[in-house]
């Protein structure tokens, strides 16, 4: 039983292929090729989502799991800078633990060593430019303000004079 062009309701080109196949003595087979665009559209959709997530206009900073930031109504754009996270459980400089707050106030040497390493790395990577002295400070909302002020004094003594206090925006 053969397939006719009339039963398929095909267009001109398909009609031509079917009639060519049905000719007596024709050795070539008719081949229908369809282009499925669904998978191509899915791939481009995933690519767009990836690019939007990768190249956001504002940088995101990591907040340590033990740090609960204070709430604020006003805020600004986060600048890319080293991050000092302070919680009751510990002190982290760019995700590296450097002790607890009590240990820090007794002997601030580990923090000073870490800040000096950050500063020397920055001056090595940016020769000829003055050190901006920027740092993002993430202090837990339960920390005493006097402890945060003492910590800021240590940062100032190590030429980190532009301290950005990280807060959670409330809308």
Q: Could you give the C-alpha distances from 82 to 3, 85, 141, 144, in angstroms and in order?
A: 72, 10, 20, 22
pLDDT band at 15 (very low <50, low <70, confident <90, very high): low
**Average pLDDT taken over every residue of the chain:** 77
The pLDDT, as a whole number, for residue 68 is: 67
Percent helix / strand / coil, the chain, rounded to 5: 40, 15, 45
> What are the tens digits of pLDDT across the range 66-105?
666 766 667 677 778 888 888 877 888 888 888 888 888 8
Instruction: Kindly state the helix (H) or strand (E) to which residue 47 belongs, with its residue range.
Output: helix 38-54
- Give the up-direction half-sphere exposure of residue 110: CA atoms within 13 A in the CB hemisphere: 17
Q: At which residue do the structure tokens 């633990």 appear?
A: 97
The pLDDT, as a whole number, for residue 166 is: 75
**What is the rounded average pLDDT of the residues 16-38?**
61
The 3-class secondary structure across 2-45, one letter per residue, is: CCCHHHHCCCHHHHHHHHHHHCCCCCCCCCCCCCCCHHHHHHHH
The pLDDT, as a whole number, for residue 144 is: 82
Instruction: Kindly state the helix (H) or strand (E) to which residue 135 belongs, with its residue range.
Output: strand 134-139
DSSP state of 164: E
Phi/psi region, residue 122 (left: phi>0; alpha: psi -120 to 50; beta: rest), is alpha
**CA 105/CA 169 separation, integer angstroms:** 30
pTM summary value: 0.59
The pLDDT, as a whole number, for residue 60 is: 60
């Amino acid at each position: 039983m053969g397939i006719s062009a009339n039963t398929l309701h095909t267009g001109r080109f398909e009609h031509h292929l079917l009639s060519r196949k049905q000719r007596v003595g024709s050795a070539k087979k008719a081949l229908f090729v369809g282009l499925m665009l669904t998978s191509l559209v899915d791939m481009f959709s995933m690519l767009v989502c990836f690019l939007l997530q990768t190249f956001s206009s504002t940088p995101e900073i990591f907040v340590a799991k033990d740090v609960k930031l204070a709430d604020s109504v006003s805020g600004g754009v986060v600048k890319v800078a080293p991050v000092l996270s302070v919680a009751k459980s510990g002190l982290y400089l760019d995700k590296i633990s450097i002790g607890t707050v009590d240990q820090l106030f007794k002997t601030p040497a580990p923090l000073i060593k870490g800040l000096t390493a950050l500063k020397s790395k920055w001056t090595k990577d940016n020769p000829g430019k003055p050190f901006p002295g920027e740092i993002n400070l993430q202090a837990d909302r339960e920390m005493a303000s006097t402890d945060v002020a003492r910590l800021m004094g240590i940062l100032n003594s190590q030429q980190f004079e532009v301290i950005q206090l990280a807060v959670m925006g409330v809308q």
